[in-house]
A and B are shown apart, each in its own frame.
Chain A
């Protein structure tokens, strides 16, 4: 191979390796360092610029909401299993199956209402502008996917790894 071409290719390979090494190392170090000091509510504090007093109040609200949320999710998971047990037997929708589906929908609606209530309470703890932004963001990430193409229900309560 031509000597200058060989030198250029070698230099490009070395440059790519140096850049990639530096990039991935600093990225990993940054993620590790920042994750180590993070707790469940770190995102709220950083994203909405909250002070210690606001965080203390939000932490209290959060700790009060968690058991209620876990209880509702367990009820939904149980009802979901009942629906699957009834629908799994036949090829048509029976009256019992329809009733279970309605109950499941009601449970989900109750749980969502409770969740929204919590979001509103948290947003009221923040400065008005940040509270509005928080509420809008939480609506977007939680209710934004309630359209028919939303995530399928499963037996998973979503709390197994959290509690």
Chain B
């Protein structure tokens, strides 16, 4: 029974031959793994900046800061606009346009 299994396995291996790998395949794979895991090499400042932007922690912090600053400025501007509208409303009531 075991010899039949061994023969069958050999036959199956023969029938599914894996394609031959390109030259220096293993070396290239290791080089890419090292490049991905290692620190960002500053080939150019643009690439370094792009790499920084793609880091989730940096992206999250930037978005949070933008939302906060936008909300603060928007609230301040909204309060100013409301105050101006209220003043215009009062002035229109006590001093209608023909008098101004």
Interface residues of A (CB under 8 A from B): 2-5, 7-8, 11, 14-15, 18-31, 34-35, 38, 40-44, 46-47, 62, 65-66, 69, 73, 76-77, 80, 108, 111-112, 115, 118-119, 138, 141-142, 145-146, 150-151, 153-154, 156-159, 162
Contact = CB atoms under 8 A, between A and B. Distances in A.
15 contacts: A18-B70, A22-B70, A23-B73, A31-B85, A34-B79, A43-B83, A62-B94, A69-B93, A69-B96, A142-B100, A145-B100, A146-B100, A156-B98, A158-B92, A162-B96
B66 interface: yes
B89 to A, nearest CB: 6
Contacts, number: 148
A118 B91 CA distance: 12
Contacts of A145: 100
B50 A156 contact: no
Contacts of A150: 100
Contacts of A156: 97-98
A117 to B, nearest CB: 11
Interface residues of B, number: 41
Given A15-B66, A22-B70, A115 B94 contact: yes
Nearest to A114: B99
A106 B68 CA distance: 56
Nearest to A18: B66
